[in-house]
Chain A
Amino acid sequence: MELIDLTMIWILILGFGVLMYVLMDGFDLGVGILFPFAPSDRARDDMMNSVAPVWDGNETWLLLGGAGLLAAFPLVYTVFLPALYIGVFLLLAGLIFRGIAFEFRFKANRSRYLWDHSFNIGSTVAAFAQGAVVGAYIQGFETEGFQYVGGPFDWLTPFTIMTGLGVVTGYALLGATWTILKTEGETQAWAWRITPWLLAGMLAFFVVVSVWTPLANERVFNRWFDNAHILWIFPLATLLVCWWLYSAIRRRLEGTPFVATMTLFVLFYIGLLISMWPYAVPPEHTFWDAASDPGSQLFLLLGFLFVIPFVLGYTAWTYWIFRGKVSSDAGYH
């Protein structure tokens, strides 16, 4: 046994990277999902302005996740992507269309509605595809040795559609609470109004998925119902945070709902990992099976330890520069 378990370190690093992606791109995808429901064009301008400076950096975490998986857990990369082939295409197409919508919407006059659709549909499809990935992960993959051998649509089942819609709703909640934080006036008033409904919707999906998962999956069932009662602290905490979020909305606290929603996502994330642990490519392969050579993990780790603090520093710096409310008169022309 080696002195340090590099695989464990990489689970933590990539776990952190994926969480960063979910939280950060989550709210800007959410803004896109909510786009057509905004009360006015002015509100849409505000919403887009609020995420415009940061969405690109947010999305870079997805690239980090992709390349990092190839480096540290190649099996995850080479089973998930073929298994989700069509879903990955939809995800990429969605991200492209919403990306160029940022660039072109404010330049368009007659065709602006087209870029609105492009932004909304692209964001929604991308969010749904990500939710389906989560569902497919829980569902497991048909592998032989170290290769995916299932069909092209194994990932698309009632269960993954449910998780896909759940993530769309969850991202919308992140987007709504972000909008509360960053806007004022009618836009914010609208965001206050829809947030409780989105919370209720997400909670409903949470309950359905939480009940469905152990019933459909014996391993998950045993994990939660055997004797590890301490684990029940997480669903309990989820309910408490929901209450915290709801009361913050009632008291019209501007920052708390966004923080509370992010906390919810962290709890879901931990719950997911508890359910699936230690499987990277269920039902057969653990993270340790999926790991690359320790030499490669170490080679990259040394660089990451040096570079990632800088990346986090600049990211924080960007958010600091663009802090505060988006003011309508400072929008694009």
Chain B
Amino acid sequence: MELDPVLLSRIQFAFVVSFHAIFPVFTIGLAAFIAYLEALLYRTRNPVYEELARFWTKVFAVVFGMGVVSGIVMAFQFGTNWSAFSYASANFLGPVLSYEVVTAFFLEAVFLGVLLFGRNKVPPGTHLFAACMVAVGTFISSFWILSANSWMQTPAGVELQDGIFQMTSWGEAIFNPSFGLRFLHFALAAFLTAGFVVLGISAWYLRKGKATTSSRKALSMTVVLMAVLAPTQLVVGDLHGLDTFEHQPEKVAAMEGIWETQEGAPLLLFAIPSQRGERNYLEIGIPKGASLILTHELDGEVPGLKEWAPEDRPHVPTVFWSFRIMVGLGLLMIIAALAGLVQLLRGKLYDSPRLLKLYTWMIPAPFVAVLAGWFVTEVGRQPWLVHGIMRVEEGITPSLTGGMALFTLIGFVLVYAVVFLAGVYYLSRVMKSGPESFTRESEESGVAKRPLSTVDTSFEDQPWDLPGKR
């Protein structure tokens, strides 16, 4: 069998970026949450905020560490596997990625150190400042990387001359048409991710009767925020979709599973799209729904996939189903958040075992939703690398063979499996030990200098922890 370096490189990039993405999408929201807790602590001196801030900073450190090691790989993927693309787009991507390093990575690195280890070494105000800077750093980082990604979706401010993108306007390129809404959509997703993890963990502690005071506090704070943000995300997501409809209509056609250009296109709830058959099977839909959403008219015209040549269409089943998974989980989050708000207002949030259980079960939901969303936008961009200008196969490294790509793909899968299993195992131990174990006393007994090492939770069971010894 002939190994296709393009396909293998695509799989490798998708794997590496998906694996990496789950960490920053969590830490961006969590950094802001921690900064908020630190601000509350600074103003009120209430120890419950300190307990929460300390605990979530530990979690943050673990996840951030995994994001860092998986992120280093990303900086080199562009060159190893996609050198033709890198060479063509270096005038824009080079400075953007470099700005991410100098304005975000260094900022995060400095102030993370102060946040993690400086609580007893710097004044409270400086510590709060450090927490804010880490949060700002994560946002600056996502600003640059989403600008680069959006530029690939809706290129602007450049001119292709002799196969090289030459800059015509930095402002238009950085703030390209899809950037604003994509950034907002992603930022909200980051907040929702962190929020639902906090909800799920706090709910779990409450059900176990652990760290009751701080968990109640975290739960009520987060429920209110989620009840605002989850519906907001629906609105922003809709605007982002309309924006995509304008710039990348074939992506929207794939999202909606519309093959024929039609007026009054239905909103499909279920269907099995067939790329080869150019049609859907087992359609269940709301008549005229898609037209109403996309054009705000019942009989508005929606272009179908057949407007584009078969080789210019994205893989419809992937885009179609990823979109439904994302929206479905988004609606679930809205319902769960609003139900929590109702219970909070009725004063029954802490005594709603089924809702608390739901929150705990929903911890993976935002991560799956974010990945599904990435699949929609990235697979939906195919077969283009830079939409409308450069195709994916044009961007591949010319000297790359299928065998080399397969070797590194397997290699990264194995390496990341080790990182992920060790990280998850360790994180679950941090979670199990709970906020109460991160008091001032227990922390001062150990001098920790590294993110993951700030927690005094042992990697394995201590001998005195073993069941037989109890």
Using a CB–CB distance below 8 Å, which chain A residues touch chain B? 49, 52-53, 56-57, 59-60, 62-64, 66-72, 74-75, 77-83, 85-86, 88-89, 92-93, 95-97, 99-100, 102-104, 106-111, 146-152, 292-293, 295-296, 299-300, 303-304, 307-308, 310-311, 314, 317-318, 321-322, 330-333
Residue on A nearest B86 in the bound complex, by CB: A78
If over half of A's interface residues share one DSSP class (helix, strand or loop), that class is named, otherwise mixed; here it is helix
Among A82, A149, A318, contact of B80 (Cβ-Cβ < 8 Å): A82
Q: Do A308 and B459 contact each other (CB < 8 Å), given the known contacts A62-B72, A70-B97, A88-B80? A: no
Q: Is the CB of A70 within 8 A of B93?
A: yes
Residues of B within 8 A of A292 (CB): 90-91, 94
Cα separation A147 to B399 with both chains bound (whole Å): 8
Q: List 6 A-B residue pairs with CB atoms under 8 Å apart, sorted by A's residue number.
A: A74-B91, A85-B397, A96-B72, A111-B459, A149-B399, A333-B445
Given contacts A71-B90, A89-B407, 9 further A-B contacts (CB under 8 A): A56-B109, A67-B100, A67-B101, A68-B94, A88-B76, A89-B408, A96-B72, A100-B423, A293-B166
Selecting from B261-269, B337-345, B448-456, the interface stretch reads B448-456
CA distance A108 to B425 in the complex (A): 12
Task: Tell me if A147 and B398 are in contact (CB < 8 A).
Answer: yes
Interface residues in B180-226 by Cβ distance below 8 A to A read none
Contacts of B93 in A (CB 8 A): 70
State A307–B113 Cα separation when bound (angstroms). Answer: 19
CA distance A59 to B102 in the complex (A): 13
For A296, the chain B residues whose CB sits under 8 A away are 90-92, 94-95, 167
**Minimal beta-carbon separation of A58 from chain B (angstroms):** 10
- Chain B residue numbers with a CB within 8 Å of A300 are 94-95, 98-99
Asked if residues B95 and A103 are in contact (CB atoms below 8 Å), the reply is: no
**Given that A95-B69, A109-B462 are known contacts, is A77 also in contact with B90, CB under 8 Å in the complex?**
yes
On whether the beta carbons of A99 and B68 are closer than 8 Å, the reply is yes
Partner of A89, one of B92, B398, B403, B411: B411
Q: Does B106 contact A (CB under 8 A)?
A: yes
Q: Which residue of chain A has its CB nearest to the CB of B90? A: A74
Beta-carbon contact of A293 and B167 below 8 Å: yes
Q: How many A-B residue pairs have CB under 8 A?
A: 229
Pick from A67, A79, A102, A330: contact of B98, CB below 8 A: A67
Are the C-beta atoms of A107 and B404 separated by less than 8 Å?
A: no
- Bound Cα distance from A60 to B401, whole angstroms: 30
Bound-state CA distance A41–B400 (Å) is 44
- Say if the beta carbon of B18 comes within 8 Å of chain A: no
- Shortest Cβ-Cβ A-B pairs, 4 listed: A71-B94, A81-B79, A103-B452, A74-B90
Residues of chain A with a CB closer than 8 A to B110's CB: 57, 314, 317-318
Interface residues of B in 43-70 (CB under 8 A from A): 62, 65, 68-70
User: Across the interface, do A52 and B459 meet the contact criterion of CB distance under 8 Å?
Assistant: no
Q: Which of chain B's residues has its CB closest to A74's CB? A: B90
One of A67, A80, A83 near B94 (C-beta < 8 A)? A67
B404 & A70 in contact (Cβ 8 Å cutoff)? no
List residues of chain B with CB within 8 A of the CB of A150.
399
* Residue B419, interface by CB 8 Å: yes
Write the chain A residue with the least CB distance to B453.
Answer: A106
Expressed in whole angstroms, the Cα–Cα distance for A213 and B100 within the complex equals 37
Residue in chain A with minimal CB distance to B397 = A82
CA distance A13 to B46 in the complex (A): 48
In the complex, B175 has a CB within 8 A of chain A: no
Q: How far apart are B164's CB and chain A's nearest CB, in angstroms?
A: 8
* C-alpha spacing A259/B167, complex, angstroms: 44
Q: Which residues of B contact A77 (CB under 8 A)?
A: 79, 83, 86-87, 90, 94
Question: Roughly how many angstroms separate A72 CA and B412 CA in the complex, as a whole number?
Answer: 28
The residues of B that contact A86 with a CB separation of less than 8 Å are 404, 407-408
Contact with A96, one of B84, B91, B100, B419 (Cβ below 8 angstroms): B419
- On whether the beta carbons of A107 and B426 are closer than 8 Å, the reply is yes
Quick one: which of B418-470 are within 8 Å of A by CB?
Answer: 418-419, 422-423, 426, 445-453, 455-460, 462
Tell yes or no: B75 within 8 A of A by CB. Answer: yes
Query: B109 to A147, Cβ gap below 8 A?
Result: no
State whether A299 touches B426 (Cβ < 8 A).
no
Can you name the residue of chain A whose Cβ is closest to the Cβ of B85? A78
Tell me whether B13 is interfacial, beta carbon within 8 Å. no
Scan residues 134-172 of chain B and give those whose CB is less than 8 A from a CB of chain A: 166-167, 170
Q: Contact between B399 and A107 (Cβ–Cβ < 8 Å)?
A: no
Query: For chain B residues 363-412, which have a beta carbon within 8 Å of chain A?
Result: 397-401, 403-404, 407-408, 411-412
- Complex formed: what's the CA distance from A85 to B100 in Å? 24
- B36 contacts partner chain A, Cβ-Cβ < 8 Å: no
Contacts of B449 in A (CB 8 A): 49, 52-53, 322
Which residues of B have CB within 8 Å of A67?
Answer: 75, 94, 97-98, 100-101
Q: A74–B418 Cα gap in the complex (Å)?
A: 33
Is residue B105 within 8 Å, beta carbon to beta carbon, of the partner chain?
Answer: yes
Contact B94 A81 (CB under 8 A): no
Complex CA–CA separation, A106 to B109 (angstroms): 21
In the complex, residue of chain B having the shortest beta-carbon distance to the beta carbon of A80: B79
Name which residue of chain B comes closest to A106, CB basis. Answer: B453
Give the distance to chain B from A182, nearest Cβ to Cβ, in Å. Answer: 13
The answer on a CB contact under 8 Å between A64 and B102 is yes
Task: Name the residue on A nearest B446 (C-beta).
Answer: A333
Given known A53-B449, A92-B73, A92-B76, contact A299–B90 (CB-CB < 8 A): no
Does B282 reach chain A (CB closer than 8 Å)? no
Most buried by B among A75, A100, A152: A100
Question: Using Cβ atoms and an 8 Å threshold, which residues of chain B touch A317?
Answer: 110
Contact indicator A85/B76 (Cβ below 8 Å): no
Smallest Cβ distance from A113 to chain B, in angstroms?
13
Interface centre among A52, A62, A83, A85 (most CB of B within 10 A): A85
What residues on A are CB-neighbors of B121 within 8 Å? Answer: 321
Q: A71 to B451, Cβ gap below 8 A? A: no
Q: Are B404 and A63 touching (Cβ within 8 A)?
A: no
Considering the chains assembled together, what is the distance between the CA atoms of A235 and B424 in angstroms? 51
Whether B94 contacts A63 by the Cβ 8 Å rule is no
Q: Is B318 an interface residue, CB under 8 A from the partner? A: no
Cβ-defined contact, B460 with A70, below 8 A? no
Contact B79 A82 (CB under 8 A): yes
